Amino acid sequence: MKKQKVIPNKYLPVRIPIFKMAITIHVMHFYKAPQYVFYPVLTIMFFVLVLSVISRIGECKDESLINKN
């Protein structure tokens, strides 16, 4: 897999959306969302989490991408 060049974390931090997912699960549970809504949303959030972790692994931090004027 080819490494993707990205801006280093100290200039532009990228966060994995764990807190947003936890809030979404809590709200769906609090309002008693039906199972036919809850489980597909949970599955989509799981895939988003896995893909965001995989994309973070395949990154190469590159200082040359920063425009230094």
What is the predicted pLDDT for the residue at 69?
A: 58
Instruction: Find out whether 16 and 56 touch, Cβ atoms under 8 Å.
Output: yes
In a domain, 13, yes or no: yes
Query: What is the per-residue pLDDT for 9?
Result: 81
Two tokens at 50? 């896995």
Specify the pTM.
Answer: 0.76
Q: What is the mean pLDDT of residues 4-20?
A: 84
Residue 24, in any domain of the structure: yes
Q: Which residues contact 14 (CB under 8 A, 6 or more apart)?
A: 6, 56
68 pLDDT exceeds 70?
no
Distances (CA, A) of 58 to 12, 23, 46, 51, 62: 17, 27, 19, 11, 13
Q: Is residue 69 part of a domain?
A: no
Of 60 and 37, the structure prediction assigns the larger pLDDT to 37
Sign of CA dihedral 49, 53, 55, 56: positive
* Residue length of the chain: 69
Full domain range(s) for residue 39 = 4-63
Domain tally, the chain: 1
pLDDT tens for 15-50 read 888 999 999 999 999 999 999 999 999 999 999 999
